Each structure stands twice: as structure tokens, then as C-alpha cells.
Amino acid sequence: MRRREIIIGTRGSELALWQATFVKLELQGIFPDLSFELKIVKTTGDEIVDVALAKIDDTGLFTRQIENELIAGTIDLAVHSLKDLQSEQPEGLTIGAVCRRELPNDALVSSEFSSISNLPIGAKVATGSLRRKSQLLHFRPDLEVVDIRGNVPTRIKKYDASDLEGIILAFAGLRRLTLEGRVSEIISPDLMLPAVGQGAVAIEVREADAEILEIVKRIDHSETRMCVDAERAFLRRLEGGCKVPIGALATLREDTIELQGMVGELDGSTVIRDTVLGPYRSPEAIGVNLAEKLIRKGAGRLLNKVRREIENSPVSTML
């Protein structure tokens, strides 16, 4: 007999609640006879807000506690920003659906300047992402990059109260929180590739829960799923995550996936980047193919160097 109440696990940030509510309303519209309720779960990433992400010795910073509840059966499904998920799911869990992707680009928020190119020499720009920092410094090595943590509204407030010339955030989060008007520039992927899965919402479920799998698959977006599968295969082969500078973006063009990927030094002095094309029916093979291509160019050695530098670096002051 079908359950009448479905419990959705989510973080408590404004963006996480927006995403979970979006999923709830989508499912409620398809299954009006079911009740969908949100349960807020606090994660490690929510509790530790004054340390750079790369320095926190924990996997699944924004997902592990939610996944534990999913495994325990206290929630029926979990809603995540796909970019927060590890490249492989914990045993017994799977991504049951991926919603249609928002524009995946990063964005510059600046009160005075219209683009990264227009920032003055030596301008201070905030980001909590090593991927953004690497690509930003590769393009503008004269900039001073400042570490920042917090959810999207918190980071915007910190920027407004600072002497920073700009801050880099995901465009998707800004749009979803109706902060699109703060955007000075939607950054081209030619300058800055986004995080793997950026802009996509993932629904994680128990592999053995056929009923919930059947329910959530109704809002799975096949084009987005193929693209993020390619990106995640790329990340998995490089053994990467949010703690190292890796970016990727897959685009579906008719029956072909174009996948761009990068790895970079922390200071932006070296960025290894390339693109591959492949049939849309083989997204994971495309991701592995691009990763192998970058490894042949030295990506493996570069990432090992970056990991050592992060491990040996002092904990930086966070804005």
C-alpha cells in the first residue's frame, strides 16, 4: 500500500529550502493524493562556518548527516545541490532524479564594476571556492582573492559590509533567491568553468525503495541527467571534490555531448583545460575520456601537488 506521507530531508539554508520546496511542489502537483513534508537536517558544513572548506577533514560536508537519515529511514528522500554530492553515493543510496538545470555559470556581484575585466588592478574579490580562485587568478593574477564562507544571503551581506570590489557566486543560487538584480556579470565558461553539477538539483533515495524511485523519476530531466553524469564521471576519475580546483561543463547539442573540463593550481599559475565530444548515450565514457586526456597533460601530478599544498597550508582567516 502506498505511503500517504513522504518526508523530504534538506538543509536549512534559504537556498536549500527553496530547492526542497520546489521539489515538494513539483511532486505534490503530480501526486495530489500524497502528502510531502520537509525535515531540516543540520550538516557539518552548516555548523563549521569559519574554516575554509578545503581545510575541513570531512567528506560529504553538506550531505552526510542527511544521507545518514536517509539510510536510517527517518526521511524518504533527500534534496541536494548536485554540486555538493560526492562523486559516488554511499552504499545503498542512489540519485533517483535530477531536476532541470538552471544556468550553471558563476556570476560577479559588484556594486561598482560591470565585469571581472573592469576590476581595478589589485582589486579584492571574495570566493570560498578554490576552483573559482584558480581560474580568477589565471585570468587576473593581479587580483587579491579573499576567502569567504556562509550561505548566499550571508555572503552578500558580508560583501555589502566590506571594502571588497566584488564577490563570485553561482548564478543559479542568486536567481533562485531573487537576487539576480545584484549580478554585474554572468561569467563566461571560457573564463570560468563551473563546479560539476552546478545549477542542478539532485534527489537522493534508497536504492531498494522502489516506490520512492518510481515517484521521483517523474521529475527527472533526461538532458540534465546526461550532462551531469558526464561531469561527475570526469570528477570521479580525477578523484576530486570541492577541496581541489576542478571544473566541468557538459552541453548537449542534438545527439552529442560537449564536455569541457579544467584543473588548476591554487594560485592560478597553471590551468590545464580541454574539451571532448561524444555520443549522448555514453555520458560516463565521455567524462572518463576527458579526465584521461587531462591526466596525460599532467592533471594528476598537479592535483597531487595541490592536495599537499592544502594539507600543509595554515588555516586562513575567513570573511
Residues designated catalytic: 84
Identity (one letter) of the amino acid at 180?
A: E
* Beta-sheet strand order (sheet of 246-253): 246-253, 256-264, 271-279
> What are the residues whose beta carbons fall under 8 Å from the beta carbon of 251, sequence distance 6 or more?
227, 257, 258, 259
Identity (one letter) of the amino acid at 269?
A: S
CA angle, residues 293, 302, 187, in degrees to nearest 5: 75
How far is it, in rounded angstroms, from Cα 176 to Cα 15? 7
Q: How far apart are the first and last CA of the chain?
A: 51
Q: Are 196 and 247 in contact (CB under 8 A)?
A: yes
Report the SS3 class of residue 17: helix
Q: Are 109 and 156 in contact (CB under 8 A)?
A: yes
> What are the residues whose beta carbons fall under 8 Å from the beta carbon of 91, sequence distance 6 or more?
none
* 71 grid coordinates: 539510510
Q: Which residues pair with 185 in a beta bridge?
A: 108
User: For residue 299, which phi and psi values (nearest 5 degrees)?
Assistant: -65, -35
- The DSSP code for 67 is H
How far is it, in rounded angstroms, from Cα 318 to Cα 69? 30
How far is it, in rounded angstroms, from Cα 128 to Cα 126? 7
Question: At which residue does the C-alpha cell 570521479 appear?
Answer: 236
- Of 250, 241, 243, the C-alpha closest to 284 is 250
